[in-house]
Structure 1
Amino acid sequence: MSNTELVLGFIFKESNYYCDDCLSEKLDIKPRQQINQICNKLKSQGSINREKKDCSSCKKDKLVNIILAEGK
């Protein structure tokens, strides 16, 4: 399974908001910049949204990754 598939699957399954740092830690994908690249690509493809909110894991106000609902 590719790192992109891991990230998308995790965000979809968890249905929460996760920052790049927490996704990197939870999925053990290093360096963290790889998560940033993956999530920017997924956003440009219309699979996820990235917005400033509290991360569900670290609770910090950061840029988080959110799965898009069907039809949006």
Structure 2
Amino acid sequence: MNETVDDKPSGYTVIDGAFRDESRSRSVPYRLYAPAALSGACPLILVSHGIGGSREAMPYLGRRLAQSGYV
């Protein structure tokens, strides 16, 4: 499931979603920050919040990376 939660005029889009980990029988939520003008391939950076965190962690980092052209 993907849901756009924020479309900023400042050059990035935020998409919340989840994928299913069948081996552990659980849903794994994610938050994707992407450049607003996404066209074609672009570099991907995966940031993990670590144990006890959530996808809401480190929005400043996601925004800045997306504004710089990373997903």
Instruction: Establish whether TM, by shorter chain, passes 0.5.
Output: no
Whose strand fraction is larger, Structure 1's or Structure 2's? 2
Larger radius of gyration: 2
Q: TM-score, normalised by structure 1?
A: 0.25
Whose helix fraction is larger, Structure 1's or Structure 2's? 1
